[in-house]
Structure 1
Amino acid sequence: MTTEYSAQTLLLEGADAAAFAQAQFSSNVQSLAVGTWQFGAWLDAQGRVLALFHLARLADDAFLVLLRGGDAAPMAQSLQRFVFRSKVKVTVPGPRPLGRGPAVETYAVHREGDAYVIGCGDHSLIVGAASSNDAWRLPQIRMGWPWLPDDVLGKLLPQSLSLERLQAVAFDKGCYPGQEIVARLHYRGGLKRHMHCVVLSQHATGGTVLHQRGENGIQLLDVVDADATVSALAVIDDGLMNAIENASNIVTNEGVSLNVLDSWPA
């Protein structure tokens, strides 16, 4: 089953673009060099992830935001409320074809004509590709790079999505929305949900919640059918993982079995 993925992007431009992004997003934007990208997130006041994205620095005063789920226009509208007198312009270029390109060093970004090439190691993401394709989805699931269905936006904490591992959350910079909550979890612990790479026994839609023993223990993120298997990223309650004798093979109430291939800490 193929899902069409378009590139939902924002542009932040202006003398205060870096300072604005540093104050709003969870990553350390000031450390980002021109021609590179980093994972970033925009959180609500409770620390929940409203948006996850690639943040690419195109110039000293220009950033490209490629969303990993969600729509760019509402996010731009919400960000605009925080501009005040800052010299930053937030624009939405509109959806563009998103496809897989050749190998490019991870965290490198460059422009080819009207397209942006975002390096992901053994492949790249092309924003403005000649045509859309989803050949990038399976390798990114296996790398633990989540793509967020609409159903989970504003519901999960960064640690549940392994965003610390992806360096999408910084604790050594100034305040940003939700910073107090995620810092407390980082230093004191207490989070009881983590992300896993799984193979499903049958197709399920991204965003589906599966149950085991009557509990809402499994939140599916991106799901892809490829290589005769159904692969997915899933956020699973630690209690469920600990309670199952064979945690590598979980049978849900819905009749969907999950074989856990890899697990990541916060």
Structure 2
Amino acid sequence: MVTHHSAQTLSIEGADAVAFAQSQFSSNVQALAVGQWQFSAWLDAQGRVLALFHLARAADDALLLLLRGGEAAPMAQSLQRFVFRAKVRLTAHEPRHLGTGPAFDTYAAARENDAYKLGCGDHSLLVGAERNDDAWQAPQVLAGWPWLPDNVLGTLLPPALSFERLQAVSFDKGCYPGQEIVARLHYRGGHKRHMHCVVLSHHLTGGTLLRHGDERAVQLLDVAHDGERTLALAVIDDQLVTSLENGTVDITDEGITMHIEKSWSA
């Protein structure tokens, strides 16, 4: 069974749009040029990831968020509480089709008629495509670009999702929610869960939590098919990873074998 993700999008517009996003999101929004996108996130005060998204600058005073998990309307309502007197308009759009387009430079963003195109290198994401498709999922799983199931929103810290590698966090731009935790984990380390691309012996749905022995050791994120293989991004306890032989683990009582294909640090 294939999961088709819809495009959940949110616009931030107005004279203070960039300044507002800079104060709320984890990336360096002020460094984002018009016609470009970057990975970014909204964290809670404890540094946990409430939302991960592509953040595109459509104009000097306009940003577009494509959420990689979660829903746009509740996020817009939550962000509205922090607008105060800023000249900002938040708009959650109706879900649209999310499709795969032709090759387009990574981090490039463009509007095409009523659709938006976000470059991902050898392909692109089309917000407002004619139909949903999943052709983009396997290459993005292999690249380590996570999509967050509902049950993990608000539970994971940035190092578990390889945010530093994705350039989704800034360590020197100033304050934003969760910034102190992000900086502490970066400079002092110590986080014991990290993201891996795994090959599964059986198809499972994104969000599945797998046990190894008595431990809740493996949290699956997005799941995709690559030919005959079932691929997934998974957050795995470091202790389990170091104990594996040949990078393969049998999941207790589940009849599932999982082999680690790629690994990423924070």
Instruction: State TM-score, norm by structure 2.
Output: 0.98
**Counterpart in 2 of 1:85?**
85
**Counterpart in 2 of 1:30?**
30
Whole-Å separation in 2 of the counterparts to 1:255 and 1:186: 37
Residue 69 of structure 1 and its aligned partner are, at CA, apart by 0.4
Amino acid in structure 2 at the alignment position of 1:198: V
2:251 counterpart of 1:252: yes
Could you list the per-position Cα deviations for residues 154-176 of structure 1 after superposition, in whole angstroms to 9, with x for gaps in the alignment? Answer: 00001100011000000010100
After superposition, residues 53-64 of structure 1 pair within 5 angstroms as 53-64=53-64
Q: Is the 8 A contact 1:14 1:62 kept in 2?
A: yes
Residue 225 of structure 1 and its aligned partner are, at CA, apart by 2.8
2:45 counterpart of 1:45: yes
**Counterpart in 2 of 1:95?**
95
Whole-Å separation in 1 of the counterparts to 2:4 and 2:159: 28
Whole-Å separation in 2 of the counterparts to 1:256 and 1:207: 16
* Secondary structure at the counterpart of residue 184 of structure 1: helix
Whole-Å separation in 1 of the counterparts to 2:32 and 2:53: 14
**Counterpart in 2 of 1:162?**
162
Q: Is the 8 A contact 1:18 1:30 kept in 2?
A: yes
- For the aligned residue pairs, the C-alpha RMSD in angstroms reads 0.7
Q: Identify which range, 45-54 or 249-258, moves more after superposition.
A: 249-258
Q: Is the 8 A contact 2:72 2:93 kept in 1?
A: no
* Secondary structure at the counterpart of residue 47 of structure 1: coil
Residue 243 of structure 1 and its aligned partner are, at CA, apart by 2.3
**Counterpart in 1 of 2:139?**
139
**Counterpart in 2 of 1:111?**
111
Q: Is the 8 A contact 1:101 1:125 kept in 2?
A: yes
Whole-Å separation in 1 of the counterparts to 2:172 and 2:94: 34
Which consecutive residues of structure 1, in runs of 5 or more, have no partner in the other structure? none
Give the paired residue count: 265
Q: Identify which range, 168-177 or 225-234, moves more after superposition.
A: 225-234
Residue 247 of structure 1 and its aligned partner are, at CA, apart by 5.0
* Secondary structure at the counterpart of residue 263 of structure 2: strand
Amino acid in structure 2 at the alignment position of 1:250: V
After superposition, residues 205-220 of structure 1 pair within 5 angstroms as 205-220=205-220
**Counterpart in 2 of 1:127?**
127
2:229 counterpart of 1:195: no
Question: Could you say if the C-alpha distance between residues 233 and 62 of structure 1 is closer, same or farther in structure 2, counting changes exceeding 3 Å?
Answer: same
Q: Is the 8 A contact 1:148 1:222 kept in 2?
A: yes
Whole-Å separation in 2 of the counterparts to 1:71 and 1:202: 28
After superposition, residues 14-25 of structure 1 pair within 5 angstroms as 14-25=14-25
Residue 190 of structure 1 and its aligned partner are, at CA, apart by 0.6
Aligned identity (percent) is 68
Q: Is the 8 A contact 1:241 1:247 kept in 2?
A: no
Whole-Å separation in 1 of the counterparts to 2:57 and 2:27: 13
* Secondary structure at the counterpart of residue 223 of structure 2: strand
Could you list the per-position Cα deviations for residues 64-119 of structure 1 after superposition, in whole angstroms to 9, with x for gaps in the alignment? Answer: 00000000000000000000000000001210000000000000000000100000
Whole-Å separation in 2 of the counterparts to 1:265 and 1:14: 37
Amino acid in structure 2 at the alignment position of 1:186: H
